[in-house]
Structure 1
Amino acid sequence: MTPAPTAARSNPSGARAPFRQVRLRKIVGAPRPYSNRNSRNLLITTTFALVTIGLMMVLSASSVELVAAGESPFDTFTKQLMWAGIGSAALVVCAFVPLATYKKLSWLILLGSLAFSLLVFSPLGVEVQGNRNWIGIGPLTAQPSEFLKLSIIIWGSAILARKARLLGNWKHMAIPVVPAAMIAIGIVIAGKDLGTAMVLALIVVGLFFLAGASPKLFVGGLVLGTIGILLAVTSSPNRMLRISAWLDPAAEGTAEGLGYQSAQALYGLAGGGVFGVGIGQSRQKVNWIPEAHNDFVFAILGEELGLVGALLVILLFAVLAYSIYRISKRSRDLYVTYVSGAILVWIIGQAILNIAVVTGMIPVIGVPLPFVSYGGSSMVAVLAAVGVLISCSRATDREVSSSGAPA
C-alpha cells in the first residue's frame, strides 16, 4: 500500500498547508516507504557525528591553555562531555514526550522560559565580557536564552497551527506571536546579547514563512528588525568599533584591537590548507585566538583538519537539514511542519551565522556553532530540540500507520 498523500497537509482541524509548502515538498518528491524512519536514523547519526567532532575539537582547542595555567588538559573537555551526556538524556526525554503534551503545555513552557531568562537581572545574574546573559548557581552557570529559542518554537507553532484557518488576516498572524517574540528579544537585548536576539528573530521569521505570512508582514518585520539592530549597534560603542573593524580590517591597529580575534581566525583557516596541520597541532590556539574552544572553534577545526574537515562539517549540517526536512514533509499535521521547520531554521541559521563570523563574512556577533562549540546551555538546548524532532517523527509514524501506510 502506498503512503498517504501529503499535498494537502493539515492540522487536526483540517486546514490546508500554505501553497509554498506544497511546492517545497514537490521538489524532493513523494515519500517512499520507511522514509520517515530512515530520516529519523539519519538525524540521530548526523547529530552525534557533530557532537563527537565538537568534543574532539573542544579538547584540542582548550588543552594547551589549561596546561599553561597549571590545570588538567581535560578539564574543559570533561565539562563538555558532561553537558553532552545531560543533553543526550534531555533528547531521550523529549523524544518520548507525546506531541500533544507539547501543545498542551506550550504556554507554560514559554512563560517558564521567559521567567528563567529574567533571572539574569537578579542577584544570580553573571556578566561575561559585557553581556549579562548568564546565571550562576555555585560552580554551575547557564544561559537561559538558549532555552528561550526552543520554547518560542514550541509555543509559536502551537498558536499558528491552532489559528491556521484565520492566518489570512495579518492580525491573527501577528497576535500574539509578535508581542511575545518582542518581549523575548527585548529581554535578551537588555542583557546585551545581540547575537542571540538575531537568532530569535530569525526563528520567528521562519515560523511566519512556514505559516504563509503575507509579503507586507515580512516587509514590516524587516523594517522593525532593521531599526532595532541599528539602535542596538549605535547605542553600544563596542559594537560600533566591531563594525568599523569589520568594514576596514586593514586599518591601523585593527588586527591588535577588536579585530584581533577575527584576524587570528583567518590566519588559522589559511594555515590549515587543504588537509590541515593535524589534530592537536594548531598554532593559533596557543595564546593567539582567545577562548578558541567557544565561538571560534571552527577556525581551529579548519586549521587542524583543513578545508576537507571544514567542508565535512558543513556537509553534516546540510545532511542534518535534509533529515529534518524529510521529517517535516512526511506529516500532514501543521504543528509538525512548524516545529520541525523552525528548528531547522534555528540550527542551520545559527551554524551559518557562526561560520560567517569566523570566515569574516559578517561582523563578530557571538553565536556558538551548534553541537560543536563549547557551552553547556547550547549543547543541552540543541539536543533537546533534536528530541522534539524525534517526537514529531514518532507522531508521524502513528499518523501514517493509522492510515494503513508503512511508517
Structure 2
Amino acid sequence: MTSYTDIELEAMLADLESDLAERKESFSGGETTEVREAVCAFANDLPNHRRAGVVFVGARDQTGEPSGLAITDDLLLRLADIKTDGNIVPPPSMTVAKRRLRGGEMAVITVAPSDSPPVRFRGRVHIRIGPRRGIASAQDERMLTEKRRGGDRPFDVHPLPSATLSDLDRVRFEHDYLPAAFAPDVLQANDRSVEQRLAVTKMIDAADTAVPTVLGMLVLGRSTRDFLPGAYVQFLRIAGAGLADPVVDELAVDGPISELLRRVDDKLESHNRTAVNITAGPREERRSLYPVAALQQLVRNAVMHRTYEATHAPVRVYWFDDRIEISNPGGPFGIVSVENFGQPGVADLSKPQPGRGHAGARLRPALRGGARHRAPCARGVTGTRRWN
C-alpha cells in the first residue's frame, strides 16, 4: 500500500478538486456513513489510479484546515472497525493513523485499491466522480467487474517484486527457449528487444518494468529456489518398502525446469536396471525394471501440475524396493474431490492452471508380471494402465 509523507498529505488536503482525498470534520452523525462510503469508493478505484485514496477525519471540507477534533484512541478504534464491521464487502485494505498536518491533529484513513472490485457498502457500489462520491451505474459496475477479471491472472504470470532481470539467464532464453518455441524465420524477422521478447513470452511482467514472473523464474532462473523455495524435486532411493527403511541414495534436484527434468531422468535411469536375455530367441531381449516412458510421463505431470502457492514442499519421487511413489503439492481439480476421486465418469475437462497440482502416482516394477499404474491425470481423471 502507498505510504504518503506529511508533505504529500498536506498537498492532498489543499487540493479541493482531488479525487484521491476526502475531508470530514468529525466522525459522528451522518458523517459516519459518509466516511464508510468514501472508503468503499476509494477501494473501487474506478478512475484506475492504482494509488491509495485518503479520508481525512478532523479536516474542514472547504479549506482542508484542522477542525479541532480530538483524535483519541476511541476514535481511532471506531475508524479501524470500518474494515471489519461487515458493512463493506469485500473488506477493504486500509490503515488508520493519527497525523499532525497543517498545525493540527487529524485521523488519516489510507485505502488501497481492491483486487476484487466491485466493493459494496450495504449493498451499493460507491465510486469517485471527480471530487465527489456517487453510486455506480450498471456500466460502471461492468467496468469494475472486468477490472477484477483482468487482475485474476494465473499464479505463474504474477511478478516477483524482489527479483530483477539479472536473475534470469538470457543465454538460455535466446539459445534454448526461443528456438524451441518459435520457427527460425519468425525469430529472424523479429526486431524486438530482449526485454520485449521476455514480456511477450510472460517471463517478465512488462518490457518497461522488467520484473521477472513466476514463470520466468521457473524457466530461466539462475537461482530459482531463492524466490520459489519449493521449486525442486526430492529423490530418495529407499532399501525397503517403507519410509522407516534405510535411504541408500538421495538428491535434491533444482534449477530451470528443463535442466531439472533432465537431471531427474538421469537419476531415475541410474536406478532403473535393465535385464538382458540372449537365450530366449534369435534376438536379445532387453527389459527395464520400469518403462522409461511411464517414469518420464509421471515426473513431468508432477512437476508441471504442482502448486507453488502457500507451500514450500517439493515434488517427491520415492523409489522403494517394490514400487515408486511420485507425489506433488496440490489437490484434486474442479468437480473432482477426495470423496469421488477414482469413480467412473468423474472428471473435469478444464486443464488446471499451474499451481493446481494433483494427488500423486504409484508405479510398480514391470519385471514382476507387469506394472499397474493408477494415477490421476492432468485433468483430475483417474486412469489405469498396465505396462508390459
TM-score (norm 1): 0.20
The structure showing larger relative contact order (alpha-carbon pairs under 8 Å, at least 6 residues apart) is 1
Would you tell me which structure has more helix in proportion to its own residues?
1
Would you tell me which structure has more strand in proportion to its own residues?
2
